[in-house]
A and B are shown apart, each in its own frame.
Chain A
Amino acid sequence: MDARVRALESLLVEKGYLDSAAVDEIIETYETRIGPRNGAHVVAKAWLEPDFADWLKRDATAAIHSLGYISRQGEHMVAVFNDDETHHMVVCTLCSCYPWSVLGLPPTWYKSPPYRSRAVIDPRGVLAEFGTDLLDNVGVEVHDSTAETRYLVIPARPDGTDGWSEEQLMACVSRDSMIGTTLAAKPVAA
């Protein structure tokens, strides 16, 4: 595959369709600048500021853009909030739609048949594989990203984090907790 992709890239460059330096720049952007830290910032701010949380509920696109997280696959955002009654989990059964602007590129499992097939029919089985146990009275709401709306899960704030700073709270928010396959949790070292 490496040789085949190199050959295609050099052909596209020779024909004037592609600039390899632009390809490098795109890769670097998603390896170093756009990733789940963006989403963790959104979540921590929502935990700390009720007004921001309300804005996220009303117009997640504007609220997220206000933090500077404006980029492709984040043009139309919806934030869904976990609470005592509902646990949210996001999938794209038809392809790999994912909120790049706040989470970066999706993990391989998110794009692969086991998750895409099972998330909608067996969400509790999937959650168990991630070690995520829910109380019996909590319903699971799965969001299948069939349009250009991109879903960000706002996990519940972990107990015992009163008075924590935004930076400390961000360390509780993993990528997978914002997809909804895990919960936010205090860092093990804390």
Chain B
Amino acid sequence: MNGGADLGGMMGFGPVVDSAEASALDPLFHADWEPRVLGMIVAIGAAGKWNLDQSRFARESLPPADYMRFPYYRIWLEAAQKLLLERQMITTDELEAGRMISQPQPIRKRLAREDVAAALQAGGPVDRPADRSAGFAVGDNVQTINIHPESHTRLPRYARGKAGVVTAILGFHVFPDSNALGAHGKGEDPQWLYQIRFSARELWGDDCNPRDSVTLDLWEPYLERG
């Protein structure tokens, strides 16, 4: 979707850092609640009530003005709360009362302390056995499609309808546009994934340094022969 998360190429947000030294000294957390949100959201992933792409879509569906001004862990919190409510794992009455009122929903697993290390180590690989050969080869010229779905996509606005070159074949990976739709889509619907290089001039115009480029990792359905 064309939401607040699709930030590439926007202007007016100000400087990134005051200096390299300031970056090195900046703590990873700025308030006590931030690490709790991080830990809660990593842990509750084990419940199996949503997938990675559904959680990303919940974040990017926040009102754009909120998305752009909230601290990052607040974005995570708001999205998690939305998912918990949507799946009726909690209710607004419970949030107001601060205690359990309705019966819990069944979950796949409650992550225990002793299982954390194994769960972090296992991660969540998204490569799948390929059931077809790749449609593009390294060196092929490609053109990205021009789409504006209201649902989840990982093709940012700034790279739609642009010409690039295949620089690597990265594997056969879960397709986020479908995976985010859950039961309403084709599930994981894995697709070939490529690294595509675009010249900075193709993306941003002739004022750019001719040596500069941007790569994006894009699935085959986003690409046409260039």
Interface residues of A (CB under 8 A from B): 1-2, 4-12, 14-19, 21-27, 29-31, 34, 70-76, 78, 93-96, 101, 104-105, 107-109, 111-121, 123-124, 126, 129-132, 137-149, 174-176, 181-182
The docked-state distance in angstroms from the alpha carbon of A95 to that of B60 is: 8
Interface core residue of A94, A96, A107, A124 (most chain B CB under 10 Å) = A94
As a 0/1 sequence over residues 113 to 152 of chain B, the CB contacts with chain A under 8 angstroms (1 = contact) are 1011100111111110000000000000000000000000
**B56-A12 in contact (CB<8A):** no
Instruction: Describe A's contact surface by its main secondary structure.
Output: mixed
**B116-A25 in contact (CB<8A):** yes
Q: Can you name 21 A-B pairs with beta carbons within 8 Å?
A: A1-B74, A4-B33, A12-B84, A14-B99, A18-B110, A27-B36, A29-B117, A31-B35, A72-B122, A75-B125, A78-B168, A94-B56, A94-B60, A113-B13, A116-B7, A117-B11, A120-B8, A120-B158, A124-B212, A141-B197, A148-B126
A148, chain B: closest CB distance, angstroms: 5
Q: Interface size on B (CB < 8 Å)?
A: 93
A-B contact count (CB 8 A): 268
**B171-A109 in contact (CB<8A):** no
The docked-state distance in angstroms from the alpha carbon of A94 to that of B203 is: 16
A36, chain B: closest CB distance, angstroms: 10
B38, chain A: closest CB distance, angstroms: 7
**B39-A24 in contact (CB<8A):** yes
B20, chain A: closest CB distance, angstroms: 5
**B209-A19 in contact (CB<8A):** no
Least CB separation from A148: chain B residue: B126
B33, chain A: closest CB distance, angstroms: 4
**A18-B17 in contact (CB<8A):** no
Residues of B within 8 A of A72 (CB): 42, 120, 122-124
**A93-B98 in contact (CB<8A):** no
The docked-state distance in angstroms from the alpha carbon of A132 to that of B16 is: 13
Least CB separation from B126: chain A residue: A148
**B39-A108 in contact (CB<8A):** no
**A2-B94 in contact (CB<8A):** no
Residues of B within 8 A of A132 (CB): 20
The docked-state distance in angstroms from the alpha carbon of A13 to that of B117 is: 20
Q: Nearest 10 CB-CB pairs, A to B?
A: A139-B211, A93-B8, A23-B39, A147-B217, A72-B123, A21-B113, A5-B33, A117-B10, A26-B39, A114-B13
